[in-house]
Amino acid sequence: MERELLEKAKAYMARGNYYLEDGRFEMAYSAYMDALYTVGALLVYRDIGILLPAGELQNVLASRHPRVYDMLRRYGGMTDYSRETISALEKEVIEVLKAIERGLGEESSP
């Protein structure tokens, strides 16, 4: 299941990259947020072995993976779809994904 969630997050990132390059910032935002929620689901699944609904997911992330929780809080409900803001979201999600791929977990990423 972890591998499938990781691949799903990467697919969302690829979609976000396409939309970002096309100047469709709101669509890019949605894809990157989907990737971020998928990363959160992956981390929680790794911790407790089950997939949780988004509301419960955030509660677990708040206590176990504060960096991802903070990202969800900062970027969730965003209304500024500028290239700079969306690129910052993209960069942060990429950092977390790379840390997960290294097997270090999100807390160890820069």
Q: Hey, where are the domains in the chain?
A: 2-108
CATH class of this structure's domain 2-108: mainly alpha
- pLDDT per residue over 39-96, tens digit each? 999 999 999 988 988 878 999 999 999 999 999 999 998 888 999 999 999 999 999 9
Q: Is the pLDDT confidence value at 10 over 70?
A: yes
pTM recorded for the entire structure = 0.88
If one counts every other C-beta atom within 10 angstroms of the C-beta of residue 85, the result is 15
The three-class DSSP label of residue 45 is helix
Give dist(CA 96, CA 93) in Å, integer. 5
CA pair distance 55, 33, nearest whole angstrom: 15
